[in-house]
Amino acid sequence: MKQHQATLHLSLKREYFDAIRDGSKLEEYRLCKPYWAKRLEGRTYDSIVLTWGYPSKDDSGRRLVRAWRGYVVKENFVHPHFGPKPVTVFVINVEQAA
């Protein structure tokens, strides 16, 4: 019997997708809100699928697959995407395996 593989799907804006693909961005951020807490806290995944927007299944140019390497929670995080005030985020490791 085939075991179900758990995959975390993250949809990204093009600038973040390109930076992860090119290796200059090694982390992806999600606000610590109930939506993401439910998907991350106490869970383990086999892989992460990062997409530029919402591509069709056969559009491999807009899809990256990474091994699940976990996350940490970071407080007082400031990033233009979240506005000028510090926030608490989940920092998801999207680094390409060596």
What is residue 3's predicted lDDT score, i.e. its pLDDT?
Answer: 59
27-70 per-position pLDDT tens digit: 999 999 999 999 999 999 999 999 999 888 888 889 999 999 99
Q: Tell me if 85 is assigned to some domain.
A: yes
Q: Tell me if 27 is assigned to some domain.
A: yes
Q: Tell me if 2 is assigned to some domain.
A: no
2-19 per-position pLDDT tens digit: 556 799 999 999 999 999
pLDDT score of 1 more than 80: no
Domain hosting 57: range is 7-93
Q: What is the pTM of this model?
A: 0.88
Q: Tell me if 20 is assigned to some domain.
A: yes
List beta partners, residue 49: 9, 65
What is residue 88's predicted lDDT score, i.e. its pLDDT?
Answer: 98
Domain count, the chain: 1
Q: At residue 33, what are phi and psi to the nearest 5 degrees?
A: -130, 160
What is the average pLDDT across 81-98?
92
